[in-house]
Chain A
Amino acid sequence: MESKESEYSVKPAAVFEHPLVLTFAQDVKGFLFNHIGALILFVFTCTSVLAVLLIFLFVAREAFPFLGKFSVVEFLTRNAWYPEASEGAEYGALALIVGSVYVTTIALAFSVPIGVLSAIFLSDIVSFKIRGIIKPIIEILAAIPSVAYGFFAVLVLAPWLQKHLGFATGTNALNSSLLLSIMALPTIISVAEDSISATGRDLREASYGLGATRFETMLKVVIPASHSGIIAGVVLGMMRAIGETMVVWMASGNASQIPHPWWDLSQSIRTMTASIAGEMGETVKGSDHYRSLFTIGLLLLVMTLLLNLVSEYFLSRARKSTGKS
């Protein structure tokens, strides 16, 4: 008791043992540490940003001579791809562009309804336990290498389509669209599901409290409230489909033609990605053919960049709207 009191008298509360101001050396050291550390992290972060920029620059550099030599309009609108013709080689990429858009659209026509409905099922209907089993399984879909999908397309789906639907060839637009739709599913489901479950329980309660059924609540409140996230998921799935190479290379039949009539899914088509992958190995570096492939690549890059911007826009809107509520 006594000793404690004396201790207090030696060290009153007003005396701070450690100085509150930095010395000059400490100050400089702290400054350097902070800034050098930040700089190092900045450089590492820049590698990915630089990679994007450099790829863009490289592809553009290889493509621009072609754009100077041939007409862009013809490249985009003509449907004649004869790059290796000995004289009068033609570079009309329309069929390839149409092919890419075509399979992507058909794929989305399958995967959007399936994906969004699955997302609703997972977020609102199934019990927590079963959801914990189903979700990882769906995510495995995203982890399967695309060449494995390609194998399945060529060895299983193609013969099946030929046999049961009477198609002339099994590797066609339908085959590749089906595969692409399965590949786009995990993206669509997981992004849409995140967005739907992020819609607060309070909104659901408000709706049920007014006498809405589960269906009405979903349709009129939850889906409208989470539409940004659902659209973002769809756009991300679309990017996956349009950029996919191996599956369309194996499953589409690789005929550079626009299906005629347009709804005939049994015809073979060819996509932009498959053309690049398939023809790049046969070209002479620096030739017109070589450069035309880079032009296709540039076009693909621009397309995916735009899609990416769109998905970013919707994702940020989704974040905003769920952050608010």
Chain B
Amino acid sequence: MTQINNNEILKPMVKAKKSKYNSYDIEKIKMETTRPSRLYENVISESSTPIIKAENFSFFYGSKAGVKDISMEIYPQMVTAIIGPSGCGKSTFLRSMNRINDLIPNIRVEGKLYVNNQDIYAKQIHLVNLRQQVGMVFQKPNPFPKSIFDNIAYGPRLQGIRKRSTLQQMVEESLQLAALWDEVKDDLKKSALALSGGQQQRLCIARALSTKPNVLLMDEPCSALDPIATSKIEDLIDTLKNDYTIVIVTHNMQQAARVSERTAFFCLGELIEYDTTSNIFSNPGKKQTEDYVTGKFG
């Protein structure tokens, strides 16, 4: 087996720029952004370059620490789960990765958090580009009170794409990726709020995919959904991981075991253990992890 070139994987992340869409050519962009699918599963592991890397990263709300001294690496094209009891900082850590936590007043960070080798808490970070390439799906489905089409087209429109046919194509692509196209293709003009909870969440995933991100952050995406909708989303995660790097925060340990390759266990704002999912669940290195995954506490 040959080691595949890391630069190849990270390429779309490096060259994505806002201006490239000005003279938009869908075929060209498609070719540019199609990622190598995950053919060499076993090769891309510890040896590959991490796409997100935390170095002694701490996040404070006022004087209270949300997460303390986290050091971990997240690898491309796999699903990394973050589990832990409520209030352990897993959402805080996830939300730091595209700086969506900036909206909260009085926050402070220490240490470094790298995305694609760039410290994203450095001064001159391009937040728009960061968030376009590190997309996010939130805990509660939060579609805009607009039509289904306008929801998905929101991201592309922000990038300056105005042409109706291009938007149409991107909307269809995103909805198909999120496995929602067949259910809504006839009423794209309907309000997104009329969809069911599970459909709304897939719509939000489609919306996050519309900006063609490299990383998809999912903050307990199934906690407001019933088991059927949950299994649909999990299937979706399974297909998406070939082309995207997914970080998922979840309360549901079975879910973490089902969908992820690597799992991090957080407790009280600290990273207790981070390993392959099978190790975490069958052979945890720490007592605390074992107690949590076996249900003795948490």
Q: Which residues of A contact B (CB under 8 A)?
A: 127-128, 200-213, 216, 220-221, 224-225, 321, 324-325
Contacts and interface: CB of A to CB of B under 8 A. Distances in A.
Given A209-B138, A211-B211, A224-B146, 14 more contacts: A127-B105, A206-B138, A206-B142, A206-B143, A206-B144, A206-B207, A209-B98, A209-B100, A209-B135, A210-B158, A221-B144, A225-B145, A325-B145, A325-B193
Nearest to B135: A209
Contacts of B135: 209-210
B71 interface: no
A220 B140 CA distance: 21
Q: Which of A204, A210, A212, A325 has the most CB of B within 10 A?
A: A210
Interface string B104-146: 0100000000000000000000011111100110101011111
Interface of B: 98, 100, 103, 105, 127-132, 135-136, 138, 140, 142-146, 154-155, 158-159, 193, 204, 207-208, 210-211
Contacts of B129: 211
Contacts, number: 70
B68 to A, nearest CB: 24
A208 B207 contact: no
Contacts of B138: 202, 205-206, 209
Contact of B128 (A213, A220, A224): A213
A202 B142 CA distance: 6
B100 A208 contact: yes
Contact of B136 (A209, A221, A321): A209
Contact of B154 (A127, A210, A325): A210
B132 A325 contact: no
A216 B144 contact: no
27 contacts: A127-B105, A200-B142, A202-B138, A202-B140, A203-B142, A203-B145, A205-B136, A205-B138, A205-B142, A206-B143, A206-B144, A210-B131, A210-B155, A210-B158, A211-B128, A211-B130, A211-B131, A212-B128, A212-B158, A216-B158, A221-B144, A224-B145, A224-B146, A225-B145, A321-B145, A325-B142, A325-B145
Between A204, A213, A220, the greatest number of chain B beta carbons within 10 A of the residue's beta carbon is seen for: A220
Contact of B100 (A205, A224, A324): A205
A201 B95 CA distance: 14
A220 B154 contact: yes
A138 B82 CA distance: 46
B137 to A, nearest CB: 9
A325 B200 CA distance: 12
Contacts of A221: 144
Nearest to A324: B193
B132 A207 contact: no
A211 B155 contact: yes
The residue among B131, B143, B144, B204 with the most chain A CB atoms within 10 A of its own CB is B144
Q: Among A211, A213, A224, A225, which residue has the most Cβ atoms of chain B within 10 A?
A: A211
B105 A128 contact: yes
A36 B128 CA distance: 64
B144 A225 contact: yes
Contacts of B144: 203, 206-207, 221, 225
Nearest to B136: A209
Contacts of A210: 131-132, 135, 154-155, 158, 207-208, 210-211
Given A324-B193, A325-B145, A207 B154 contact: yes
Nearest to A127: B105
Contacts of B130: 211
- Among A205, A225, A324, the one with the most B-chain Cβ atoms within 10 Å of its Cβ is A205
Contacts of B145: 203, 224-225, 321, 325
Contacts of A208: 100, 103, 131
Contacts of B136: 205, 209
Contacts of B98: 209
